[in-house]
């Protein structure tokens, strides 16, 4: 199994009077394949009170440049419901129940949702339930990869709309990038919003360019992704 190292620590609360849960999860991303069909994650409760968590797998797609999660029977998550004691931890196992696609990566999310507990008699704050999702990728049986093309347009209000389309058969995560006109005369623009592009999907970034660019300007893009650094040229016009 290839898993992204690190720990995701999530705190969710609404306002200063809300009761919040803090849950640490490692690894933060899992990759399965035809040879590795199971994964193990560790959840740690960093609070002084127990937390009840429901875990479910979901099929992940991106219609219309938005994430969509649908019920799936392709993955089994055990246990599906559990209580993590104060300062304790829980091991979670994910198993692939189907064969990988021969030519295309399969994309899923693991949804972890806190089950709200009844407030105590002396509670005066708002109880906010925690909910996070982690990506799970199943590699195709054949060699795959992302293949991006970049285009842009200048909107009437001066906003630069940059679009990336993934023609490939595997995901890519764009972490951030800088955009600048090919003649280097305009101000460099920066996008630091991390985005996943699943196979066959498009992502948009809108950056305030003002009057420094024209509609026919070619854009140079230098950025970082989970596959490494990249430098590309974006052409003006429709995808």
- Asked whether the predicted pLDDT for residue 38 surpasses 70, the reply is yes
Of residues 93 and 116, the one with the higher pLDDT is: 93
CATH class of the structural domain 148-236: mainly beta
Tokens 């196979």 found at: 199
Please tell me the predicted confidence (pLDDT) of residue 131.
85
Tokens 């399969």 found at: 106
Instruction: Report yes or no: 199 and 137 within 8 Å, Cβ to Cβ.
Output: no
In this prediction, residues 179-195 reach a mean pLDDT of 83
Please tell me the predicted confidence (pLDDT) of residue 17.
30
Please tell me the predicted confidence (pLDDT) of residue 119.
62
Indicate the pairing of strand 2-4 with strand 29-32. antiparallel
In this prediction, residues 141-162 reach a mean pLDDT of 90
- In which residue ranges of the chain is CATH 2.60.40.10 found? 2-138, 148-236
Please tell me the predicted confidence (pLDDT) of residue 80.
97
From the list 237, 228, 13, the residue with the least C-alpha distance to 114 is 13
In this prediction, residues 181-188 reach a mean pLDDT of 74
Grade residue 28 by pLDDT with cuts at 50, 70 and 90: very high
Please tell me the predicted confidence (pLDDT) of residue 25.
93
Q: Among 59-68, 113-122, 199-208, which is the least confidently predicted range?
A: 113-122
CATH code: domain 2-138 is: 2.60.40.10
CB neighbour list of residue 202: distance below 8 Å, 6 or more residues apart? 65, 163, 164, 165, 166, 239
Average pLDDT, the chain: 86
Grade residue 120 by pLDDT with cuts at 50, 70 and 90: low
Please tell me the predicted confidence (pLDDT) of residue 210.
64
In this prediction, residues 25-47 reach a mean pLDDT of 95
From the list 128, 96, 135, the residue with the least C-alpha distance to 114 is 128
The encoded tokens of residue 133 equal: 């999702």
Please tell me the predicted confidence (pLDDT) of residue 4.
46
């Amino acid at each position: 199994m290839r898993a992204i190292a690190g720990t995701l620590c999530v705190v969710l609360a609404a306002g200063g009077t809300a009761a919040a849960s803090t849950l640490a999860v490692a690894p933060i991303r899992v990759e399965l394949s035809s040879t590795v069909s199971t994964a193990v994650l560790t959840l740690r409760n960093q609070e002084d009170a127990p937390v009840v968590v429901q875990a479910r797998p979901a099929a992940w797609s991106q219609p219309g440049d938005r994430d969509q999660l649908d019920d799936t029977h392709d993955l089994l998550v055990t246990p599906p419901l559990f209580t993590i004691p104060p300062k304790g931890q829980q091991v979670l196992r994910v198993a692939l129940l189907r064969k990988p696609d021969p030519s295309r990566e399969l994309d899923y999310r693991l949804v972890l949702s806190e089950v709200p507990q009844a407030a105590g008699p002396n509670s005066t704050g708002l109880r906010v339930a925690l909910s996070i999702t982690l990506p799970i990728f199943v590699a195709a049986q054949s060699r795959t990869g992302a293949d991006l093309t970049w285009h842009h347009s200048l909107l009437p209000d001066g906003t630069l709309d940059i679009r990336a389309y993934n023609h490939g058969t595997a995901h890519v995560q764009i972490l951030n990038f800088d955009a600048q006109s090919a003649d280097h005369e305009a101000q460099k623009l920066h996008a630091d919003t991390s985005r996943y592009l699943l196979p066959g999907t498009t992502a948009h970034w809108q950056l305030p360019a003002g009057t420094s660019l024209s509609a026919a300007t070619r854009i140079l893009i230098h950025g970082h992704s989970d596959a490494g650094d990249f430098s590309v040229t974006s052409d003006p016009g429709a995808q």
